[in-house]
Amino acid sequence: MTQAPSRTALLDDPQLRPFLPLLFIAWSDGDLEPAEFAAFEDHIKEMPWLRPAARIALQAWLDPKQPPSHKEMDTLFETIGKVASNLDVDHQRDLVELGMSFAPMGTPSDDIRRALVQLEEAICGSLGPAEPLLRRVRAGRELGQEVTASGVSVPPPFDVATMRAVLDGDQAKVRDEVRRFLDDPEKRAYGLPVKDYRAKVAGWLEALADAGLGTRAYPGVTSEEKDLNAFVATFETLAMGDLSLLVRFGVQFGLFGGSIFFLGTDAQRREHLARIARLELPGCFAMSEVGHGSDVQSLETEAHWDAATRTFVIHTPSESSRKDWVGGAAQHARMATVFANLTVGSEKQGIHAFLVPIRDAEGELLPNVRAGDSGHKMGLNGVDNGRLWFDHVRVPESAMLGRFARMTEDGRYESPIDNPKRRFFTMLGTLVGGRVSVASASVTAAKVGLAIAVRYATARRQFGSDDGVEMPLLAYPTHQRRLLPKLATTYVLSFAVAGLRRRFASDQRASLEASARGDRTIPDTRETEAFAAALKALASWHGVETVEQCRQACGGQGYLSVNRLPELRADVDVFTTFEGDNTVLLQLVAKSLLAGFKKRFESNALAGVVRQVMSKAHTAVTEKNVIVVRRTDSEHLRDRGFHLAALRYREERLLETVSGRLRKRLAAKKDPQEAMLDVQEHLVALALAHADRIALSWFDEGATSCQDDALRGWLDKLGALHALTLLRRDATFYIQEGYFDSHKESAMREETERLMKELTPAAVALVDAFGIPDATLAAPIAFMDPAHPRWP
Amino acid sequence: MTQAPSRTALLDDPQLRPFLPLLFIAWSDGDLEPAEFAAFEDHIKEMPWLRPAARIALQAWLDPKQPPSHKEMDTLFETIGKVASNLDVDHQRDLVELGMSFAPMGTPSDDIRRALVQLEEAICGSLGPAEPLLRRVRAGRELGQEVTASGVSVPPPFDVATMRAVLDGDQAKVRDEVRRFLDDPEKRAYGLPVKDYRAKVAGWLEALADAGLGTRAYPGVTSEEKDLNAFVATFETLAMGDLSLLVRFGVQFGLFGGSIFFLGTDAQRREHLARIARLELPGCFAMSEVGHGSDVQSLETEAHWDAATRTFVIHTPSESSRKDWVGGAAQHARMATVFANLTVGSEKQGIHAFLVPIRDAEGELLPNVRAGDSGHKMGLNGVDNGRLWFDHVRVPESAMLGRFARMTEDGRYESPIDNPKRRFFTMLGTLVGGRVSVASASVTAAKVGLAIAVRYATARRQFGSDDGVEMPLLAYPTHQRRLLPKLATTYVLSFAVAGLRRRFASDQRASLEASARGDRTIPDTRETEAFAAALKALASWHGVETVEQCRQACGGQGYLSVNRLPELRADVDVFTTFEGDNTVLLQLVAKSLLAGFKKRFESNALAGVVRQVMSKAHTAVTEKNVIVVRRTDSEHLRDRGFHLAALRYREERLLETVSGRLRKRLAAKKDPQEAMLDVQEHLVALALAHADRIALSWFDEGATSCQDDALRGWLDKLGALHALTLLRRDATFYIQEGYFDSHKESAMREETERLMKELTPAAVALVDAFGIPDATLAAPIAFMDPAHPRWP
């Protein structure tokens, strides 16, 4: 308690001020030994001209047991910075000159100069000239690195545990359970032969099932969960680990079991789900055919109702209709949910799902079922993707999943949904969980990549100056530009997928409750489906791009499998393709937006037009007025209201213009399909604009409800960096629209740079808050090489 | 000769015109059997009302031996299109109605209608309604697909062999030899255990050496070549095959042998190069250290001159100075070129290269040399990258490569270059071939990816309409957007790397000739070094992005290793990192531009300023005048003069502004290193702008010198699509500068769309012209599934 005043006194004592730079350097390097401090003390004793109070203060600053706090170093640094900025470069480089410039004018300075020279030799002799060290320390401090006697540490500028709690949200317990499961060096694999890798993943999946994590997939049947929130959060968190395990988990419990949970009757659920949750019945989900990837409406596999035997005959009529890429089909699955075109008599009833046994308990293929291996893949080689052919395989009546279709006793087909197309899309709709899950897991993959790359960027030093003092990579603006906007977007999308998950879980819960009540109304979940498609595309592209940036940002180390990024990069790539190709999904999103727009427009034609005009006028008045178009102050540029309005404006304008272009073509009697083709790129742009707007709104919901002011401040910075990055990407659009001018765009660029500078010292804490288990990250030895003395 | 007039007559004969749509459909589907044509002819006989001439004409159109030519189908199609566009959608869909609309007003139409109904039933019954077919055919034709009796083919709109000759340039013979070597299914590998893969690649490398391809690396020593053009072209073409082989080839002959060729004395060349070219002396190139990736100036490995024994002692002083990622070091290399800091007496002489034996003829490590494996990597696992540690390893005096340094008889160090820094950069400069080669190979990787993805996109059909007629992927604008701009840039960069190669080869030739003459002047190759750095960064990012786009554009098929893209994607990724990290290289480029600018400015201060002002004024007058800023006609937008001027303007402006920002900071006495950091992103933007401008200029050189008008037309389209894509990417800059307005940007977008439509039918021919050997491409069975009847 007595030290604080004497330490602070140093800052103002004219005898002591010249020592400030030296002290700062001494502490900031952090690897000075107690012996060196002792030498320092000896020198102090040889300075009889020091007043006793000054001597005590100086010694207090040198006590190895009492390293200065972050705050004290801050104060020191600021004080030095103020003086140093008045010096020219040469004087900045010379620690003695720098110190002398702190001596008040007119004080006798010979003693002081002599003392500084001695001390500099004693302490800094081996460290080289002062200026590069100062620069290095400055760079370290820009990264939030704190200097203590034991080395350099990075004190988090906020409470990491609280931030993690905010990110984990309502599913913290579930996530921590998964984290504990993954935090085990045995749960990593790379470079293994396919056979061994598959066996390893199969073992992990068994362990997950044994731990009961599969039961969460069927709330009310195999678990007490009220809805699917816990299951999706489990999946999202599992993506911190091996993605082959993730995919096998998703196929077994989500796709295969989920098909029964969502499309089956109560009896079918009771019969199968408990065994599926325990992995006693390993299964697969046979929807995609080699000739029909994202276009599931064109599936060719046939199911014929044989009235005489009350069986269905499942058949693969052509090579293009072989089921392909089916996870689990090559090796592990014993049953498949097969999607096939049902024919009853002469009538086609559209695509339905059938439970078809494919292997016996010994794993031998059943008669008339042929299976093949999809072969070696870019990634996910722990998943046994395979092909299936059916040669008139007979399954009993009970094999057809019966929530939306059944055969009557007199052999007629019956469904609560008359229109076969609507029936199919209703069935598909219940399977939207796959897209919700992939969107969530994509964000997790980005988190893993960033956790590796950001930590590396603060530890790894390269270049700097001719005098051999190297700078941490994250001190370079180009490196910040690589990682920080991706980090910001990852935070935004983390909240966005949480919003999506909650909407999905609540939809499904309502639908299942209605079904349990015997209510045969089919709930309309199309809005959630469109959200899921939009965010799946947005998040999976973000995941792929982020992991790629992280790989490149780690240089040669990022190319080594031991450091995790290579397998993560290869595995996550297919997220843009499976559960619906992104470009295809975005067109579905756009069509759904167009349908809504048309309804809005047609519901009351005149009123609609009036509303449109009013809304346009409103936009013009509130957003496009001259002041807003040109406003460039920080407060405005960081204002989420501004960001949201701009994203909403873009979405609305693209919707208006694409709709106009379509109307014009249809009015000219153009074929509707060709008209859609004409505007296809416009549709994709619209869907992405929608996804961007939704993501930021849901981030806004989450960030605004955060009760901790300090954390909210960091979230706001992240949100602003993300939003300004988007707005600048589309700057040409906004300038063309007169929404902002090019002067404002320049201000946005500068604001982006300021935000990156502010976020840099928090970067490590921000990735720590993701809570990625250490064992799933890069091997620390290969990465950091603690043997290297220069790496902290 | 008699048919042509009668066929053409059909187009005007009022009796025959109604048959046009039917005939078109009949031929365009392409899989009608001769029997069906016979049925058609029978029907014609039942039309007594047909005039004899009309009958003959009709029969001529139906002769299975005389399928209509592409041009005739074109004419038919245009004629139908003109009439059909006046009909509403329902009439377009009905083949009879469509036909009837061709009957001139007032002609008796009952006979014709009856005939059409019969014929439609005979021919088109199984084909469904006419409109979707028409659409399908239109889509096919947009892709340049020609319809013949034997099926659908894609006739090239230009002579592919001639285009290939243009691309192959002066090195066609060399390239064809490499193509023949690679066109062998045994030269593909994926999914192999590392050990087997390395062994396979080692075998291929032996075969290449046996074929004498290694000798090209040392013109005048092991080959009669005059310069390195043939060697670089060999490397560039080898990138069509396995990239592990490419890298091992590059390490053995380019880096290892090249270090002796460029840095060695005549005696050293004579001693080693022949054995290296025959792979009798496998070697490696040990420059990078784990603590110093791109920052080779900071290398720590030591070489001490021991005057007593006239030996050098090579030593690894710390863990951070272990040599790492050294291709060949883990297993195959017997000798290493080791870069180490030379100390003679007490004087440090900077980094020099030493030939250090590391393994004996049996492959056993020599004493005091330790080697490790860099481990499993993202890709290139056929290369045995390794680590090396030296524990006071002694090598004789002759081990130091002696072109730029030698020890005198009295034990003094001597070099024709006094300044150690300049000496080091001169040595590095001679090694620029690595970057030239990586730039070239990156473009080849993009070519391979595009050859796969473009072919797939014309064969694979998905979606289309509710009636089950699917469209080729390349008929979708979003798919064109994915692939065609990348294709255009690949053409541009193909010419650009050819320009770089020729400059490099000519520089090296001059330098070696000077050296042979005993001329000790060190030639200034800094300009070529900057070009190489700029194009290496540009081309490797382009390669990675293009292969990624191609992977995604092939959907699930693109994720299967059998289809080549996964291994290509993983292998090419490190091209952005090795031979200098791209971001680091771009800063070197920018610094070299700044140095040039400063020189220009300082050479004559007043004159310099005057020139600057004049040049600015010139720009303002010629380029930024109101008419050019707003000009939106096609001719102007496709004019390479406009593109080049715009790219030059951007480069100049960025150079001016970054230089201004730096001057301001230095004038304020800011530390130069920090000043550079402040503008780091600006520097990278400048370097990329420079690279873009150089690339387009060199493309311009190549395209302009192409003698074939038709081919030049296609090259011009590609150049325009590439340039407009760049200018639109940087539209905000140009709008802010007043170089063009946002109205013009919209016109550029539309022009881009037109160019893509024009290039689509040529896409297959354009990738065929790359001449990628079939065996190196995707496995055709997995890809195209010929069993599928719908896939041509």
Inter-chain touch A319–B190, beta carbons under 8 Å: no
B581 touches chain A (CB under 8 A): yes
Residue A773, pLDDT score: 94
pTM: 0.85
Inter-chain touch B559–A565, beta carbons under 8 Å: no
Residue A196, pLDDT score: 96
Which residues of chain B make contact with A584, given a CB cutoff of 8 A? 463
**Residue B367 belongs to a domain:** yes
Asked if B193 and B68 sit in the same domain, the reply is: no
Q: Cα separation of A413 and A428, whole Å?
A: 20
Could you give the maximum distance between any two Cα atoms of chain B, in Å? 114
What is the domain-level CATH number for residue B250? 1.10.540
Inter-chain touch B577–A552, beta carbons under 8 Å: yes
Size of interface A-B (CB pairs under 8 A): 239
Residue B7, pLDDT score: 64
Residue A514, pLDDT score: 84
Domain interval for residue A750: 434-783
Residue B241 has pLDDT above 80, yes or no: yes
A462 touches chain B (CB under 8 A): yes
- Which residue is closest to A292 within chain B, CA to CA? B462
Residue A648 has pLDDT above 60, yes or no: yes
| pLDDT per position as a tens digit, A51-62 | 887 777 777 777
B729 touches chain A (CB under 8 A): no
**What percent of chain B stands above pLDDT 90?**
61
Among A717-721, B474-478, B693-697, where is mean pLDDT lowest?
B474-478
Where is pLDDT greater, at B776 or A89? B776
Name the minimum distance, in Å, from the CA of B241 to any CA of chain A.
17
Q: Which of B94, B288, B321, B462 to mutate to test the interface with A (most CBs of A within 10 A)?
A: B462
Nearest CB partner across the interface for B325, out of A89, A556, A788: A556
Q: Cα separation of A618 and B231, whole Å?
A: 66
B351 - beta bridge partners?
B341
Where is pLDDT greater, at B144 or A156? A156
**Residue B92 belongs to a domain:** yes
A681 touches chain B (CB under 8 A): yes
Inter-chain touch B670–A89, beta carbons under 8 Å: yes
Asked if B187 and B208 sit in the same domain, the reply is: yes
Which residues 174-193 of B have a C-beta within 8 angstroms of A?
190-191, 193
Nearest CB partner across the interface for B319, out of A581, A583, A787: A787
Which residues of chain B make contact with A295, given a CB cutoff of 8 A? 462-463, 470
Where is pLDDT greater, at B623 or A630? A630
Q: Cα separation of B240 and B179, whole Å?
A: 8
**What percent of chain A stands above pLDDT 70?**
82
| pLDDT per position as a tens digit, B369-382 | 999 999 999 999 99
Which residues of chain B make contact with A544, given a CB cutoff of 8 A? 548
Inter-chain touch B677–A581, beta carbons under 8 Å: no
Number of Cβ within 10 Å of residue B741's Cβ equals 17
Nearest CB partner across the interface for A294, out of B462, B465, B678: B462
Q: Which of A101, A671, A680, A729 to mutate to test the interface with B (most CBs of B within 10 A)?
A: A671
Burial code (b: 16+ CB inside 10 Å, e: under 16) for B658-686 equals: bbeebeebeeeebbebebbbbbbbbbbbb
Asked if B532 and B589 sit in the same domain, the reply is: yes
| pLDDT per position as a tens digit, A225-278 | 999 999 999 999 999 999 999 999 999 999 999 999 999 999 999 999 999 999
**Residue A158 belongs to a domain:** no
H or E element in which residue B303 lies: strand B302-306
Name the minimum distance, in Å, from the CA of A163 to any CA of chain B.
31
Inter-chain touch A577–B555, beta carbons under 8 Å: yes
Inter-chain touch A684–B190, beta carbons under 8 Å: no
B298 touches chain A (CB under 8 A): yes
Mean confidence (pLDDT) of chain A: 85
Tokens standing for B73? 């189908």
Residue A702, pLDDT score: 95
Which residues of chain A make contact with B295, given a CB cutoff of 8 A? 462-463, 470
Residues 6+ apart with CB under 8 A from B110: none
B733, B752, B751: which is closest to B742 by C-alpha? B733
A584 touches chain B (CB under 8 A): yes
Nearest CB partner across the interface for B318, out of A135, A680, A788: A788
Asked if B120 and B188 sit in the same domain, the reply is: no
B302, B289, B293, B246: which is closest to B567 by C-alpha? B246
Name the minimum distance, in Å, from the CA of A375 to any CA of chain B.
7
Residue A780 has pLDDT above 60, yes or no: no
Residue B143 has pLDDT above 70, yes or no: no
Asked if B303 and B254 sit in the same domain, the reply is: no
Residue B556 has pLDDT above 50, yes or no: yes
A135 touches chain B (CB under 8 A): yes
Which residues of chain A make contact with B482, given a CB cutoff of 8 A? 583
Residue B70, pLDDT score: 59
Which residues of chain A make contact with B791, given a CB cutoff of 8 A? 320
A556 touches chain B (CB under 8 A): yes
| pLDDT per position as a tens digit, B442-462 | 999 999 999 999 988 887 777
Number of Cβ within 10 Å of residue B211's Cβ equals 13
Residue B154 has pLDDT above 90, yes or no: no
**Residue B160 belongs to a domain:** no
Residue B606, pLDDT score: 45
Banded model confidence at residue A467, pLDDT cuts 50, 70, 90 = low
Inter-chain touch A191–B190, beta carbons under 8 Å: no
Residue B458, pLDDT score: 84
Residues 6+ apart with CB under 8 A from B131: A671, B89, B92, B93, B94
B538, B556, B539, B505: which is closest to B220 by C-alpha? B505
Residue B419, pLDDT score: 86
Inter-chain touch A745–B728, beta carbons under 8 Å: no
Asked if A567 and A634 sit in the same domain, the reply is: yes
Inter-chain touch B319–A190, beta carbons under 8 Å: no
B589, B609, B636, B595: which is closest to B740 by C-alpha? B636
Which residues of chain B make contact with A131, given a CB cutoff of 8 A? 671
A257, A357, A373: which is closest to A312 by C-alpha? A357
* Residue at token pair 């040392």: B218
Name the minimum distance, in Å, from the CA of B581 to any CA of chain A.
7
B681 touches chain A (CB under 8 A): yes
Inter-chain touch B463–A295, beta carbons under 8 Å: yes
Q: What is the DSSP string of B630-681?
A: H---HHHHT-HHHHHHHHHHHHHHHHHHHHHHHHHHHHTT--HHHHHHHTHH
| pLDDT per position as a tens digit, B273-302 | 999 999 999 999 999 998 876 677 789 999
Among A303-312, A783-792, B622-631, where is mean pLDDT lowest?
A783-792
Asked if B209 and B114 sit in the same domain, the reply is: no
Asked if A480 and A590 sit in the same domain, the reply is: yes
Residue A449 phi, psi (nearest 5): -60, -45
Residue B558 has pLDDT above 90, yes or no: yes
Tell me if B334 sits within 8 A of B376, measured CB to CB.
no
Asked if A19 and A51 sit in the same domain, the reply is: yes
Which residues 731-760 of A have a C-beta within 8 angstroms of B?
731-732, 735-736, 742-743, 745-746, 753
**How many structural domains compose chain B?**
4
Which residues of chain B make contact with A376, given a CB cutoff of 8 A? 190-191, 560-562
DSSP SS3 for A66? coil
Domain endpoint, select from A128, A152, A176: A152
Domain endpoint, select from B382, B397, B421: B421
Q: Cα separation of B677 and A306, whole Å?
A: 76
Mean confidence (pLDDT) of chain B: 85
Q: Cα separation of B320 and A787, whole Å?
A: 8
Residue A378, pLDDT score: 96
Domain endpoint, select from B368, B396, B421: B421
**Residue A428 belongs to a domain:** no
**Residue A160 belongs to a domain:** no
Query: Radius of gyration of chain B from Cα atoms?
Result: 32
DSSP SS3 for B47? coil
Asked if B549 and B481 sit in the same domain, the reply is: yes
Residues 6+ apart with CB under 8 A from B574: A556, A559, B377, B378, B379, B380
Residue A337 phi, psi (nearest 5): -85, 110
Local structure of residue B68 (DSSP, 8 states): P
Number of Cβ within 10 Å of residue A534's Cβ equals 31
What is the domain-level CATH number for residue B576? 1.20.140.10
What is the domain-level CATH number for residue B295? 2.40.110.10
B135, B127, B119, B142: which is closest to B23 by C-alpha? B119
| pLDDT per position as a tens digit, A208-229 | 999 999 999 999 999 999 999 9
Asked if B42 and B145 sit in the same domain, the reply is: yes
Which residues 190-219 of A have a C-beta within 8 angstroms of B?
190-191, 193-194
Tokens standing for A394? 């007979």
Nearest CB partner across the interface for B677, out of A476, A736, A788: A476
CA distances from B78 to A83, B85, B131 (A): 80, 10, 15
Asked if B312 and B362 sit in the same domain, the reply is: yes
| pLDDT per position as a tens digit, A526-581 | 899 999 999 999 999 999 999 999 999 999 999 999 899 999 999 999 999 999 99
Residue A606 has pLDDT above 50, yes or no: no
**Residue B691 belongs to a domain:** yes
**Residue B268 belongs to a domain:** no
Residue B233 has pLDDT above 50, yes or no: yes
Q: Cα separation of A432 and A534, whole Å?
A: 12
Banded model confidence at residue A149, pLDDT cuts 50, 70, 90 = very low
